[in-house]
Amino acid sequence: MLAECADLVLLNGKIISMDRRDRIFEAVAVRHGRIIAVTSNKQVVRLIGKNTRVLDLGGKAVTPGLIDTHSHLALAGVNKTSTMDFMDPPTGSVQEIVDRVKERVSKSCLGDWVIGRNWDETLLKERRYISKWDLDPVSQHNPVVLFHVSGHALVANTLTLRLAGVDAATADPEGSILKDGNGEPTGVLKDSALGYVLERIPPWTVQQLDEGIKKIQEEWIREGITANKDPGLMSDCAPMLQAYRNLHAKKQLKIRSCLLWKAFKPDDVVRASSEVSAKGDEMLKVVGVKTFVDGSLRIRTAWMHDEYNIGYDQVDVGNKGQAVIDLGTLEKLVLEAHRRGLQACIHAVGDRAIDATLDVLENVVKKSPRRDHRHSIIHFTIPRRKALRRVKALGAVVETQSSFLYFIGDILAGNLGPKRSKKVMPLRSCVRMGITVGNSADCDFYPLPPRFGLYAACTRRPAVEAYGREPLGTTECLTVREALRTYTSWAARCLFWEDKIGSIEPGKYGDFAVWSEDPYSVPKERLKDLKVEMTIIGGDIVYAA
């Protein structure tokens, strides 16, 4: 009998299983990291032995551990420990940013790179981009690169541009603001002014990444996150993968991590394939590649069929964004990944980028039929209606970020105008069509907590309400149950881990989030205020408030 006893029992709770029948139970038992029973209080007693840890939940709600399908865990960690963050503390003016750069330079050796991130011109007093002319007076002997909050633009000082070989033929005329596709040729992202600067920045060391991941994962666990897909493995940045593997070997990697290798050309896929074939397990694996078709809706570089708006009701004449990769190269890259059995995850934001991505996927699948490939469209922010039917027919999945509707919903509405803004992120339509939707934060570029994604998916209300409470409409709202699935059972399918995590069922890993309040019972307006009181991974309590 003792051999059958559980290591951990949670009882007297509301166990939201997220199984196919959406069943709710009172208790759950875990042995050797896996769930052995999901049942009633009365039945679970037989699994309690003298060494069983028993937690009386007192009626609290439990969901599967939350899964983020697209966040840069390693990058978020190393940024937190090694760069300036202009959101922490918040920076309110260009001068404040310049002053912080000046202070960092004063503490650095000559020639050391100074890196910052998360500046947002909409939150600055001057309401403008930072320029090299702001930075040059305080950084004549140190390269400075400050990443825009979108992650799709940066500002660099003159020394950085000179080191990167960016000149009048490639630099953006906006004072060294480099965006996706700046410069000629546009081609692949790496062959642009932005790419030249990115290539010049010294890569993070294994030690820096190691320390960053260890630190940041504790914050993520406090938000109930137990698994993540990190799209940040650079083709020339093996230290990131090594840092993950080091932590895993030392049993210090707590969040289940599914990794993507960034690919800009077919040769990059070959490198990724060798890593995918290497041994992976339930804590760490490389599953495929990530590539890009366009930029960001936030800064109007995503590739659109029609011109952007400015300020909601004005037209940004001539600006439809553009592709950041040659589509022939994209098809060769995706075909290489497809034939090697990899998941191809493609960043496509604008409606034209999404259509181009689907053209490529259809061609690839026709050339080399393969079942259950689950190629992913990342973001999928403003698809046309017929694009949804094509996604479903292809068997592709969508990895989106509903929290954007809250954090930058006003900006999205302003850039799309009154008609298109109601079609942004059509989650309800996707779900009704049977498309697998995984949710995420795209952290470190945006705030992490999934509770904001739950709130936004159910309300579609932007934070500032610059154009009213409902510029994004309400017809695409999800129910709380559906929104939770985008972070649990559906998200698990995006990681090819649906047989291991994503629902509370016997045989799966004991990954749980215990909530301060029941997500099914609180008003949807309060979803963003929920707290996770306990996080359990593989039956181990890794966080308790």
**359 contacts: CB under 8 Å, gap ≥ 6:** 327
pLDDT at 434: 98
Output the CA angle 309-312-315, nearest 5 degrees: 30
> Is residue 10 a part of any domain in this protein?
yes
> Is residue 308 a part of any domain in this protein?
yes
434/526 same-domain check: no
The CATH number given to whatever domain includes residue 407 is 3.20.20.140
Residues paired with 55 in a beta bridge: 10
For residue 5, give both structure tokens: 């006893």
Enter the pTM of the model.
Answer: 0.91
335/470 same-domain check: yes
Peptide bond into 471 cis (omega under 30): no
Helix or strand holding residue 333 (H, E): helix 327-339
> Is residue 37 a part of any domain in this protein?
yes
The CATH number given to whatever domain includes residue 84 is 3.10.310.70
pLDDT at 1: 42
83/25 same-domain check: no
Cα–Cα dist 8/53, whole Å: 5
100, 91 contact by CB (below 8 A): yes
For residue 305, give both structure tokens: 């069929």
Q: 3-class SS at 346?
A: strand
145, 130 contact by CB (below 8 A): no
Sign (positive or negative) of CA dihedral 488, 490, 493, 498: positive
Q: 3-class SS at 172?
A: coil
322/427 same-domain check: yes
530/423 same-domain check: no
Cα–Cα dist 429/137, whole Å: 52
334/398 same-domain check: yes
Q: 3-class SS at 24?
A: strand
- Which is nearest to 403 in space by CA: 309, 472, 467? 472
The CATH number given to whatever domain includes residue 515 is 2.30.40.10
> Is residue 43 a part of any domain in this protein?
yes
pLDDT at 3: 56
Range of the domain at 396: 293-478
- From 145, 169, 200, give the residue that closes a domain: 200
For residue 496, give both structure tokens: 């090819």
50, 6 contact by CB (below 8 A): no
Q: Which residue has the tokens 């009633």?
A: 40
Q: What is the DSSP letter of 342?
A: P
76, 440 contact by CB (below 8 A): no
Burial class (CB in 10 A: 0-12, 13-18, 19+), 160: buried
332/427 same-domain check: yes
Q: What is the mean pLDDT of each run of 10 residues along the chain (545 residues)?
A: 81 98 98 98 96 97 98 93 88 96 96 93 90 94 92 88 79 53 36 78 91 96 98 76 95 97 91 79 94 94 97 96 94 97 97 98 97 97 98 98 97 97 98 98 92 98 96 98 98 98 98 97 97 98 97
> Is residue 516 a part of any domain in this protein?
yes
CA distances to 54, 377, 397, 503 from 431, rounded to whole Å, are 37, 15, 11, 18
pLDDT at 272: 85
pLDDT at 183: 32
Task: Please compute Rg for the chain using Cα positions.
Answer: 23
> Is residue 165 a part of any domain in this protein?
yes
232, 213 contact by CB (below 8 A): no
**119 contacts: CB under 8 Å, gap ≥ 6:** 86, 91, 97, 130, 146, 147, 148, 149, 155
Q: What is the DSSP letter of 528?
A: G
136/55 same-domain check: no
- Which is nearest to 441 in space by CA: 195, 75, 121? 75
8, 27 contact by CB (below 8 A): no
Q: What is the DSSP letter of 136?
A: G
pLDDT at 27: 98
> Is residue 494 a part of any domain in this protein?
no
- From 155, 176, 200, give the residue that closes a domain: 200
18/88 same-domain check: no
89/133 same-domain check: yes
474/392 same-domain check: yes
- From 175, 200, 225, give the residue that closes a domain: 200
Secondary structure of 212-260 as H, E, C letters: HHHHHHHHHHCCCEEEEEEEEECCCCHHHHHHHHHHHHCCCCCCEEEEE
Which segments of 120-247 are extended strands (E)? 144-148, 153-156, 177-179, 225-233
Total domain count, the chain:
3
16/96 same-domain check: no
> Is residue 497 a part of any domain in this protein?
no
